[in-house]
């Protein structure tokens, strides 16, 4: 059935694939810009309340780049789905360019982001007094917040766990509700 749906809605699937690929290509560069901007803020190179003209220019450049890539993705539909994965359709013009962009932009953006956040950690430990109780409290708060993101998401998105937690809070007991169990008998003949 799924291959029939792919053939029936091939244009829609290709448009969705092109949009997803475009957003993936542009996502890492959009994440790198705030990382570099934060380093400049922590090092007091640019003010906190006002964005630098270079950062604004780079943001405008990235947004225009995203718009151009989205228009190209919708127009030429360069992504195909070969279940269970996506692949480039190299018969489409400039598809090799997108294949190259995905690799050549991803790795430098990841490296720049890593180096930016590493330098932020260095600047924090150099310039912030960790003997101050307020700074220690903020650090502990962020640590607790970071550690409890996954359990909170589990409670929000997993209905059975959420019901078990509510039952525990209401009754104070951890009893399991009756659930249907299936058994099978295997005989050797």
Q: Tell me how far apart the alpha carbons of residues 132 and 135 are, in angstroms, rounded to a whole number.
A: 5
pTM of the model: 0.58
pLDDT(115) > 90: yes
Half-sphere exposure at residue 74, Cβ-oriented, CA atoms within 13 angstroms: 6
CB contact at 8 A, 130 and 139: yes
Q: Average pLDDT, whole number, for the chain?
A: 79
H runs (alpha helix) in 82-187: 95-127, 133-147, 149-157, 159-171
- Predicted local confidence at residue 22, as pLDDT: 83
Segments making up each domain of the chain, as ranges = 2-127, 129-172
The tens digit of pLDDT for each residue in 6-61 reads 778 888 888 888 888 888 888 888 888 888 888 888 787 877 766 678 888 888 99
Q: Span 152-176, mean pLDDT?
A: 80
The tens digit of pLDDT for each residue in 121-137 reads 888 778 777 788 887 88
Question: Angle formed by the axes of helices 159-171 and 149-157, to 10°?
Answer: 100
């Amino acid at each position: 059935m799924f291959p029939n749906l792919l053939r029936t809605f091939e244009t829609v699937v290709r448009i969705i694939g092109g949009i997803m690929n475009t957003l993936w290509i542009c996502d890492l560069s959009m994440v790198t810009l705030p990382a570099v901007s934060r380093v400049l803020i922590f090092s007091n190179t640019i003010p906190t309340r006002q964005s630098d003209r270079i950062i604004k220019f780079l943001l405008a450049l990235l947004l225009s780049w995203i718009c151009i890539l989205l228009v190209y993705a919708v127009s030429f539909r360069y992504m195909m789905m070969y279940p269970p994965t996506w692949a480039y359709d190299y018969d489409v013009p400039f598809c090799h360019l997108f294949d190259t962009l995905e690799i050549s932009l991803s790795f430098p953006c990841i490296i720049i982001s890593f180096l930016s956040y590493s330098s932020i950690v260095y600047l924090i430990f150099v310039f912030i007094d960790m003997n101050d109780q307020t700074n220690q409290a903020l650090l502990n708060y962020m640590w607790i917040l970071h550690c409890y993101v996954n359990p909170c998401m589990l409670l929000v998105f997993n209905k059975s766990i959420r019901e078990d937690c509510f039952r525990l809070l209401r009754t104070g007991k951890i009893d399991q509700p009756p659930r249907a169990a299936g058994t099978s008998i295997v005989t050797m003949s």
